[in-house]
Structure 1
């Protein structure tokens, strides 16, 4: 181990991945890593905090397991820009939506029920969500009628994008958010065995263009009747 550390106790790296055998390694007492992305494999991330330089926080990205609601109470998790959950617990999606401020949340290796995703969309549609918010869901039923993509298309058919062209840049659903100029665009990364369903809160482009045309139109007044 001393050979690889080359006598140094402090390291700077853009991203660090820790997991498995790392916990069995004996490190110098003052060993620290300064990083902006922490990938905690197969464990809740607090296991590795003793080797993370405090100057790393707030993190740009955190990848971790979440086993219970109490895990969300940690201030490091609540301050991260992008949160990726390797494995979670049933019913965590509504809790995350209400309590976690990360604008990007990725559910990796999490089979989130499509009914929970539908409820999330309905909540955003009614109550709004910050522009730029992005939630990504792995879909392990891809290619079947029970996939998240197929179920959302079925249950939100009134919002189907008539110009959807099957690419990753084209949303298959466009859902206006009440009393705003934003919308929930729902994307898919493909039609293969494993793909993501992605929710993004973005500007409603069509509405903005119509509004602009209206503002550019000349103002005319009807002649008053005598």
Structure 2
């Protein structure tokens, strides 16, 4: 049986994906979540896991170092990699939104938008017919309006608590986000039986949750 390599992001998606795989009948060791390794072998299931930053998962899959990946739809929209999206895993639900300080007036010439998602933000404001200046940041996006760097931010919202704690309010909701199972096109042809088996097992569990 051929090994399957799966790239997964650390954090919440990883924990929810591991639970989903276990419920689908995959025997992952008890210490799996506690491991500090970046590559985890599970020989009993002929599986290998690569733990990566969320934005890097589609890159690993596109280049074939991973057959499959688990990535948020936000990452898929931003990265636009040459991979197939096989399944909505319906985990780690959140959404992308525009937010800013309440009552703050937008710069009329070209409002500044701070975000980790420059491609998504550019596309969204272009579709709204608005000309904006995008400022790419890698973390603590909520700071940008507080220190006068940007008029608005585009960021992931799950509970809305971080916005509230920083005195920001959501002004527009862009798109709903869940995590997806993605596949390298060549792997999909070469390892189709094993991949289809995984998709079917995961689908059964996801449908039970609905």
TM-score norm. by structure 1 comes to: 0.28
Work out which of the two has the higher radius of gyration on C-alpha atoms and give 1 or 2. Answer: 1
The answer to which structure, 1 or 2, has the higher relative contact order (CA under 8 A, 6+ apart) is 2
TM-score norm. by structure 2 comes to: 0.29
